[in-house]
Chain A
Amino acid sequence: MARNRARAVGINLTSLMDVFTILVFFLLVNSATTEVLETPKQITLPASVVEEKPRETVVIFISPNEVTVQGESVVLVSEILEMTSQDIAPIGERLQEVSKNIIGLRTQIVAESQEVTILADRSVPFSVIKKVMSTCTSRGFARLSLAVLQKAPETRTASAN
């Protein structure tokens, strides 16, 4: 004679609630700190132990295929590899556009900073980076920075030599 008793759920939820509460507090605090520069999804930045924070500047984004300046795709990496001169004209024009087109406060800060931040994928060859950098300096952007992912300092394990 089976009695159908409506049983309450037998799972003990206390520990689950503990974990969720801690997790929520941690994630809330973590997402409260906003970043100036977002980690791009398409490329993998190299990692380094530097600690300087990025600033609001003109952003040049170099993926393995193309180069983007402040959001607008400008030139392809394959074209850059074929160019013999050290100056890349489309990037230069776009940089001049950026310094002139001042719409709001953010674009003004970016244009006045006279600085360029380069976000490049790990596998981009050095010649491409060098051409981009010399284009920037020839257009008056004297300060350049390279964006990297922050890596925790490695502890050297003592190896018996």
Chain B
Amino acid sequence: MARRHHYRRRTSEPAELDMTTFLNLMVVLVPFLLITAVFSRITIVELSLPSSVGGSAPTEPGFRMEVIVRDGGLELSDGRSMIATIPKRGDQYDLETLSSLVMSLKRNHPDDNDASVLLEPNIEYDHLIQVMDAVRSAELPQVDDQETTRVALFTDISIGDAP
């Protein structure tokens, strides 16, 4: 009668799966995909032409919203007279005030969709895009849910030189 010791291992090891090949594949694939991954998308702002590159004010009567971007700040005009002057806040243009003023103008003229953004020659391109953004649409916080909705304001924007 052979003595059989029932040796039970102290720790029962789980079944070992050989990960080496899988690990090889992952170690090669993940850095490669990370390096070639594109996380920023390019989108385009369409401009309305041919009036977009004209410098002179259009001859239509009535309301025409113009935002004049100068070195010292922004000016808002309705085609005939100045509505507001928004000075720079620190070193940045005050886009929140511009956005709220544009929204109130849109409430008064809900059918007008065109606006002009006029700039002085040395203003940076980035500021043009930011001002166009503020004029084109705005984010309105919804009261019922926590998300904001994007409302179109003046979608037909033309660009020109500041007088």
Residues of A within 8 A of B (CB): 8, 13, 16-17, 20-21, 23-24, 27-28, 30-31, 35, 37-39, 45-55, 117, 119-127, 129-130, 133-134, 137, 142-150, 153-156, 158
Contacts and interface: CB of A to CB of B under 8 A. Distances in A.
Given A20-B26, A122-B125, A122-B126, A39 B53 contact: no
A27 B130 contact: no
Given A17-B19, A142-B49, A148-B44, A24 B125 contact: no
A150 B52 CA distance: 23
Contacts of A39: 38, 40, 42
B141 to A, nearest CB: 6
Given A54-B44, A126-B120, 15 more contacts: A17-B23, A23-B34, A27-B30, A27-B33, A27-B34, A48-B133, A50-B43, A53-B43, A53-B44, A55-B44, A125-B123, A130-B161, A144-B47, A144-B52, A150-B42
B40 A130 contact: no
A125 B49 contact: no
A149 to B, nearest CB: 5
A137 B22 CA distance: 57
Given A21-B26, A126-B125, A153-B148, A50 B44 contact: yes
Interface of B: 16, 19, 22-23, 26-27, 29-30, 33-34, 36-47, 49-50, 52-53, 119-126, 128-130, 132-133, 136-137, 139, 141, 147-148, 150, 159, 161
Given A146-B47, A149-B41, A124 B30 contact: no
Q: Nearest 4 A-B pairs (CB), nearest first?
A: A27-B33, A122-B126, A127-B121, A20-B26
